[in-house]
Amino acid sequence: MAQPTLAELTAAAAASDGPGFPPDVGRRFGGVDPLGLRQINFDLMDKVLPGLNNVARHVRPFVVIAWAWRRANQLAQTKGYKTIRLDLLQDFVDRIEVIYVWSQLLKNKNADLPGRQVLDPIVKAPQWTFGGAKWQKRRETRENSTALSAPINYGPALKMLGWVQRHQDYPDVMIPTEAAKPALDAFETRISKHLNHAAFSSFGAVTVTTAEAASWADDWALDAVTPAEKKATAGMLIGAAAPLCRQLAGDMILAAIHHSSTMDADHLRGTMSGPPSNFVPSPGLRKTWEDFHRLQVRQLFRLSLEALFWWTVGNLGDRPKSMEAIVSAFVGELPQPGEQLMAGAWLKVLVPSGSGPTELIAQIQAAMANPAAQDLAVSIVAGLAFCLAEVSDDEKHEERPDRLPLWRARKETAARAEQSVPAFLRHVFESWILAQHVFWSVGRGLADARAGGKTLLRLRVVLDEGGWKLAPGASRGSPPVPTPDRLETVLTLARESGVIRTSSGT
């Protein structure tokens, strides 16, 4: 809904002859980061697997986008344009992207590509005209969300892996790199018989039929990567052109695959996360191994706290509940500590033996999926106890305190080691859960409002007279999940590029 202007508000007030109810603004509750903890996860991922995300996991879309930019620049040159509007180039690239996804959805309705729902009207239409107001609206809708080049999809990795670079004089124009050239040449050979079609050879409005899109699907299929594309991807992913930390991560992943004889991401994640796994990489990979372990510990810490927030929201209602009541309800779901056991000693007793961060993450997820088992509180405190007991020699203190870095949590825990268990848990609820949620939700909401961004209501709990209660209209929502750590992306790209041979698993 468009925001009313000041003039419209003034006119409405002048026309009113009394008080009234404003129209429903269509509140949307949301936010996948209720405590604002996830940025540290991403920062730690960048120490191991930079330049990747969890969506851009196939080779062919990188090639299609890079080729589309090369083709657009070539067309501008062959047509003798001395100058050309950037939007004409971008329109051509957007068209190629949509036609590509359209053709692959016709080939396989479950193709692993973004934008299936948005493109549904095109998939079902007998033909589509890439031009005019309707097409322009669709371009605007896709730009920052479902487009292959969108910031949340293949856009960032397209540049960071080295498929394209910015034009030195026109930074909004992308130019394929020399490293990408052999792959683009091989790709163009595959689709050469279609290049005379206006969709591939002209700017401006073009109409494509469903039959035409379907006839192109096999020649640029998602799973038909050429040897040249594989070679280019392998070099960019973990080869000499990749950042050293990603090269080392690739070496560690390959060593873990050899050690465990599997390419299953969950199994490999546990293998590389330290004890109880007996995998120990070579000395040159020690730092990479430690960084990956630290990432998984942070994953566990974040999930433990978000699970505790989820538990809290599930135990609140419309009537205020005091902090004493919240803490008492949570303690009631835990095994009772000894009468003289203070918080510090209690946490040491709770540190699980024979479990690492990935095992404890799985236990929390299982507990949230099966509330009848009533072991969520136990799994949460086990996860927290494990994280708080960890010691990292090179833990960086430059992590923002408002993101609740583990060094801050450990410092606050040490200061309360001689408090009672309920007193320590009260601090966890008040500071790490409720205050963190309110601070982050309000701050994000204000930032969105100032920037004219999303209009999500992130605040799910409010402090009322007598205690905490659910915000009006808020609900518990879905259980939190671990932040994907890019391991699946690396494995998929490595398989498709031949770095990992699926026949032998190495």
How many helices (DSSP H) and strands (DSSP E) are in the chain?
22, 8
Residues 199 and 304 in one domain: no
Q: Is residue 430 part of a domain?
A: yes
> Which tokens sit at 439?
């601070």
* Helices 244-260, 487-496: crossing angle, 10 deg rounding: 80
pTM of the model: 0.88
Is residue 445 classed as helix, strand or coil in its secondary structure?
A: helix
Q: Is residue 241 part of a domain?
A: no
Residues 319 and 411 in one domain: yes
174 pLDDT exceeds 80? yes
Of 227, 252, 282, the domain-final residue: 227
**Rounded CA separation 458/440 (Å):** 9
Residues 305 and 443 in one domain: yes
Of 192, 227, 262, the domain-final residue: 227
Q: Give residue-wise pLDDT tens across range 265-323.
A: 999 999 999 999 999 999 999 999 999 999 999 999 999 999 999 999 999 987 899 99
398 pLDDT exceeds 80? no
15-29, 110-124, 231-245, 303-317: the lowest-pLDDT one? 15-29
Q: What is the pLDDT of residue 339?
A: 63
Residues 115 and 212 in one domain: yes
Q: What is the pLDDT of residue 23?
A: 60
Residues 311 and 445 in one domain: yes
Q: How many other β-carbons are positioned within 10 Å of the β-carbon of residue 481?
A: 12
454 pLDDT exceeds 80? no
Q: What is the pLDDT of residue 395?
A: 60
Q: What is the pLDDT of residue 32?
A: 81
Q: Is residue 150 part of a domain?
A: yes
Higher pLDDT: 392 or 377? It is: 377
Higher pLDDT: 139 or 393? It is: 139
506 pLDDT exceeds 60? no
Judge residue 278's burial from the number of C-beta atoms within 10 Å of its C-beta, 0-12 exposed, 13-18 middle, 19 or more buried.
exposed
By percentage, how much of the chain surpasses pLDDT 70? 92
Q: What is the pLDDT of residue 504?
A: 43
Residue range 17-44: average pLDDT? 77
75 pLDDT exceeds 80? yes
Of 227, 254, 269, the domain-final residue: 227
pLDDT band at residue 10 under the 50/70/90 scheme: confident
**Rounded CA separation 98/65 (Å):** 11
Q: Is residue 74 part of a domain?
A: yes
Q: Give residue-wise pLDDT tens across range 191-211.
A: 999 999 999 999 999 999 999
Q: What is the pLDDT of residue 304?
A: 98
> Which tokens sit at 102?
């359209």
Q: What is the pLDDT of residue 235?
A: 96
Residue range 359-375: average pLDDT? 95
254 pLDDT exceeds 60? yes
Q: Is residue 411 part of a domain?
A: yes
Residues 293 and 392: beta-carbon distance below 8 Å:
no
**Rounded CA separation 186/180 (Å):** 10
Q: Is residue 39 part of a domain?
A: no
19-23, 259-263, 411-415: the lowest-pLDDT one? 19-23
**Rounded CA separation 201/76 (Å):** 10
Q: What is the pLDDT of residue 338?
A: 58
**Rounded CA separation 35/54 (Å):** 21
Q: Is residue 394 part of a domain?
A: yes
Q: Residue 112: give the domain boundaries.
A: 59-227
Q: Is residue 247 part of a domain?
A: no
- Count of structural domains, the chain: 2
505 pLDDT exceeds 50? no
Q: What is the pLDDT of residue 25?
A: 54
Residues 223 and 356 in one domain: no
453 pLDDT exceeds 80? no
Residues 163 and 304 in one domain: no
The mean of the pLDDT values for the chain is: 91
Residues 40 and 403: beta-carbon distance below 8 Å:
yes
Q: What is the pLDDT of residue 503?
A: 46
Residue range 455-466: average pLDDT? 86
Residues 177 and 162: beta-carbon distance below 8 Å:
yes
pLDDT band at residue 401 under the 50/70/90 scheme: confident
142 pLDDT exceeds 80? yes
**Rounded CA separation 76/207 (Å):** 20
